[in-house]
Amino acid sequence: MEEILNISNLTKRYDDLVVLDHVNLSVKKGEVIVLVGTSGCGKSTFLRCINALEKIQEGKVSLDGEVINPAGGKLNTVRERIGMVFQSYDLFPHKTVLQNMILAPVKVKKINKKEAEKEALALLDRVGLLSKKDSYPHQLSGGQKQRVAIVRALMMHPEVLLLDEITAALDPEMVREVLDVVISLAREGRTMIIVTHELTFARAVADRMIFIDGGKIVEEGSPEEFFNHPKTDRLKKFLDSFSYD
C-alpha cells in the first residue's frame, strides 16, 4: 500500500532533554498504528510533532510527499489534513455540540453552514449522540464528550487521525463506548496513530504496534508478535508491568 505519512530522523529536544532521538516511521494509507511506552517517554510529544504543534530540532515529517514539519508558514492548512483528539476533553464550552462540530468546517474550510450541519448530524447519529446536538459540553458525560471530539475531528476530513490517550481520563464504564467508535473507524480504513494504555484494545485495533523507549522506537511489529513474542527485554518488562501475576 501507498505511504501517506513519513517521519524521518525526527529529533525533539526541550533544552537539554532529548525526548525523541532520530525517530523514523513510515505510515501507509489505511494503517492503524498503536504507540505504547512508559509515562513520559514522549508519545504525546511525538504526536504533537506530527501535526506541528511542536517545533522539531532535526529531521522532517511529510504528509503525502509535502513537508509539514518544519513547516514553511501555512501551518493551519497542514493541520486541517491531520485530525487530533486529546486526553482532556477539549470541546469548546461556550458552543453546543453541533456548533462545536461545524465551527472549523465553516470558518476554515468555508463550507456552507447547512451542508456542514447535515454532515455533523449524520456523524452524531453514527456515534449515537444525535439527541445531544443542542447540548453544551458540560451537559455531557466524559465518554459522550470524547465521542463528540472524535466526530468533530472527522468533520475536517483528515487524512490521518492522531488519538492521544483519549480514554485515559474516563470512568471505566465509558471507555468501551469510545473505543468502539475508534474500532469502527479502523474498519472503514482510516489512517490512525493511536496512543493508549488499553492493551486489549490495542491488540484488537492495531495493524502495527510500536514501543518507544529512551527517545527511540525500540520495537515494532504485528500485535501478534509484539504481545506474544516480544524480542527486547525492555518491551518484555513494559508488558509485564501490566499483568498482576
Ligand X SMILES: Nc1ncnc2c1ncn2[C@@H]1O[C@H](COP(=O)(O)OP(=O)(O)OP(=O)(O)O)[C@@H](O)[C@H]1O
| 43 contacts other proteins (rule: CB under 8 A) | no
Closest CB 198 distance from other proteins, rounded Å: 21
Task: Please choose which of ligand X, Mg ion, other proteins, none residue 40 contacts, taking the beta carbon within 5 to 8 angstroms, the exact cut-off set by kind.
Answer: ligand X
Cβ proximity to other proteins: between 94 and 229 the closer is 94
Q: Shortest approach of Mg ion to residue 164 CB, angstroms?
A: 6
Q: What would you report as the CA-atom Rg of the chain, rounded to the nearest whole angstrom?
A: 18
Q: How many residues does the chain have?
A: 245
Shortest Cβ distance from residue 101 to other proteins (Å)? 10
Q: Pattern of binders to other proteins over 61-90, x per CB under 8 A?
A: --------------xxx-xxxxxx-x-x-x
**18-47 residues near ligand X, rule: CB under 6 A:** 19, 37, 39-45
Place of cell 476530513: 157
Residue located via cell numbers 504507540: 35
- Angle made by CA atoms 61, 53, 105, in degrees to the nearest 5: 95
Cell numbers for 221 = 511489529
Closer to ligand X by Cβ: residue 49 or 129: 49
- Closest-CA residue to 126 (of 177, 83, 202, 73): 177
User: Where do the H-state alpha helices sit in the chain?
Assistant: 43-50, 75-80, 97-107, 113-126, 142-154, 172-187, 199-205, 223-228, 233-240
- 108 alpha-carbon distance from chain centroid: 21
Q: Which stretch binds Mg ion (CB under 5 A): 36-44, 99-107, 115-123, 130-138?
A: 36-44
Phi-psi map region of 193: left, alpha, beta (phi>0 left; psi -120 to 50 alpha): beta
CB of 145 to other proteins, least distance (A): 12
Collapsing DSSP to helix, strand or coil, 115 comes out as helix
112 touching other proteins, by CB under 8 A: no
Of 20, 23, 44, 84, the one binding Mg ion (CB under 5 A) is: 44
DSSP annotation of 131 reads G
Residues in contact with other proteins by the rule CB under 8 A: 51, 53, 75-77, 79-84, 86, 88, 90-94, 103-104, 107-109, 136, 138-139, 149, 152-153, 156
Interacting residue ranges for ligand X, rule: CB under 6 A: 14, 17, 19, 37, 39-45
